[in-house]
């Protein structure tokens, strides 16, 4: 089909009338132009988001390792459940990331302030695998690490989506910027 399209248009350029040559040239030029436009959009998005994507990938791997470790500790490891669960987690992360990116684009097109939503959604997406990994590490260490108060910050953020819930200081406005601390 593509081969016939190209051959038909090349023949028209070679032996057709002026209008036919122009139309065939236009058609042949549009195919790569559309592909390059889509590729440029994807590349631009990737360059803007590659650090987050990299860190999210590491969080997924950390969650997988901690999950395997936890299940090995309790003799409940199942390769089938591991593959199913990990595939489901990756699928959900990709789906939610796509949906939130689409929502951010819609908000940006409406010229609304989307920075809060963008930050909150990225934290939410990251906390899903990273939070699970930290909980599994807590189970592996019998609650010694990470501290329960640290995990409660993530739990509270998941309930409220208030970025300030992740603040490790009680009130940052009380801190003197000139102090040695």
Per-residue pLDDT tens over the stretch 110-122: 777 678 888 889 9
Of the CA atoms within 13 Å of residue 37, those in its CB half-sphere come to 6
Cα dihedral 21/22/23/29 (nearest 10): 110
Q: Would 34 be classed as within a structural domain?
A: no
Q: What is the pTM of this model?
A: 0.70
Q: Do 53 and 46 touch, CB atoms closer than 8 A?
A: yes
Q: Would 131 be classed as within a structural domain?
A: yes
- pLDDT of res. 81: 96
Per-residue pLDDT tens over the stretch 63-100: 999 999 999 999 999 999 999 999 999 999 999 999 99
Is a pLDDT exceeding 90 seen at residue 166?
A: no
Q: Would 125 be classed as within a structural domain?
A: yes
Q: Would 64 be classed as within a structural domain?
A: yes
Higher pLDDT, 159 or 168: 159
Number of domains in the chain: 1
Q: Would 173 be classed as within a structural domain?
A: no
Higher pLDDT, 131 or 41: 131
Is a pLDDT exceeding 70 seen at residue 171?
A: no
Q: Would 134 be classed as within a structural domain?
A: yes
Q: Would 107 be classed as within a structural domain?
A: yes
- For 121, the domain range is 50-166
Higher pLDDT, 169 or 89: 89
Range of weakest confidence among 28-32, 48-52, 100-104 = 28-32
Q: Would 87 be classed as within a structural domain?
A: yes
The candidate with the shortest Cα–Cα distance to 125, out of 32, 53, 176, 20, is 53
């Amino acid at each position: 089909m593509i081969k016939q399209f190209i051959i038909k248009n090349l023949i028209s350029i070679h032996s057709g009338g002026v209008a036919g040559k122009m139309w065939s040239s236009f058609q042949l030029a549009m195919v790569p132009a559309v592909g390059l436009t889509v590729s440029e959009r994807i590349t631009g998005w990737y360059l803007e988001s590659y650090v987050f994507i990299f860190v999210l990938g590491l969080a997924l791997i950390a969650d997988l390792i901690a999950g395997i470790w936890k299940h090995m500790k309790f003799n409940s490891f199942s390769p089938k459940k591991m593959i199913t669960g990990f595939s489901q987690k990756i699928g959900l992360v990709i789906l939610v990331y796509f949906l939130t990116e689409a929502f951010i684009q819609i908000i940006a097109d409406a010229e609304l302030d989307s920075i809060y939503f963008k930050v909150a959604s990225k934290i939410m997406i990251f906390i899903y695998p990273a939070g699970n990994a930290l909980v599994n590490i807590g189970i592996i260490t019998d609650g010694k690490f990470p501290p329960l108060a640290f995990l409660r910050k993530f739990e509270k953020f998941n309930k409220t989506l208030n970025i300030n819930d992740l603040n490790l200081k009680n009130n940052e406005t009380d801190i003197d910027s000139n102090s040695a601390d």
